[in-house]
Amino acid sequence: MRRLNYDKVVERLVDFIRDVGKSGVVVGISGGVDSATVAYLATKALGRERVLGLIMPYFENKDVEDAKLVAESLGIGYKVINIRPIVDSFRENLNLELDRKALGNIMARTRMIILYAHANSLGRIVLGTSNRSEFLTGYFTKWGDGASDYAPLINLYKTEVWEIAKRIGVPERIVKKKPSAGLWEGQTDEDELGISYALLDEILWRLVDLGMEKEKIAKELNIPMSKVEHVEKLVKGSEHKRRLPLGPKFDDLIVRP
């Protein structure tokens, strides 16, 4: 895996947020390490008065307490908004059979709407919490948790976010907890991805950043080729999530005078 000068990385992140967030930021705080890291960096960059945390649970569980811990340890303003009535209203009025994935997407998009409603009303921006591991594998909801004005962690792998979190004082219990999007009870990121973040990041770095051949990656990491192919499939299958909608071009149909 690549080696970073983490002290300089933290400085760059803080400078970036200070530059783009002059009017203040709104951050969705889930109780996980990514959102906690963004909240800590934003507070360091802007001061607690210009950071608003929104805690938006569907399930009332330990994640809510962890999210409160983040906000209260930083001294930032925060709101707890239970999204269950909103999501359940969608479910009741759509008159559709929704599986867990479809319902989870509605949850993520509901949170996005709430984040932007607060940002718009306050004249602030939405600071996203996606990391590079999620971005490259498409492990996010399009127009949901993948939507933000700026995403400070978007070029940092999950394992790198953990290192940063340790250095800037994110509570240990949050750094060490199993990553989860909180879309259903017992859900974990690594179960859904079908691979640990530690191995995922090693493969992604070689596959995407270095452009290594799959055979060489498998040999270097001493893993089955199927693991590399699984990650490649995640990357290729989620390409549409990483770009704006496309349509046909018409330059060749312009009628010349």
Q: Which residues of the chain have pLDDT under 50?
A: none
Query: Which positions ≥6 away from 93 have C-beta within 8 Å?
Result: none
Instruction: Look at residue 204 in the predicted model and tell me its pLDDT.
Output: 98
Average pLDDT, the chain: 95
* Cβ-based neighbour number of residue 79 at 10 Å: 14
Instruction: Look at residue 223 in the predicted model and tell me its pLDDT.
Output: 97
Are β-strands 125-126 and 51-55 bridged in parallel, bridged antiparallel, or unpaired? unpaired
Question: In angstroms, how far is the first alpha carbon of the chain from the final one?
Answer: 57
Instruction: Look at residue 184 in the predicted model and tell me its pLDDT.
Output: 64
> Tokens 């879309």 identify what position?
183
Instruction: Look at residue 182 in the predicted model and tell me its pLDDT.
Output: 66
Instruction: Look at residue 192 in the predicted model and tell me its pLDDT.
Output: 83
Q: What is the pLDDT of residues 126-175, one digit of tens each?
A: 999 999 999 999 999 999 999 999 999 999 999 999 999 999 999 999 99
Query: Which positions ≥6 away from 210 have C-beta within 8 Å?
Result: none
Helical spans, DSSP H, in 32-157: 33-46, 62-74, 84-94, 100-122, 132-137
- Give the pTM: 0.94
Q: Exposure pattern of 118-146 as b/e (b: 16+ CB <10 Å)?
A: bbeeeebbbbbbbbbbbbbbbbbbeebbb
Torsion on CA atoms 226, 227, 228, 233, rounded to nearest 10: 80
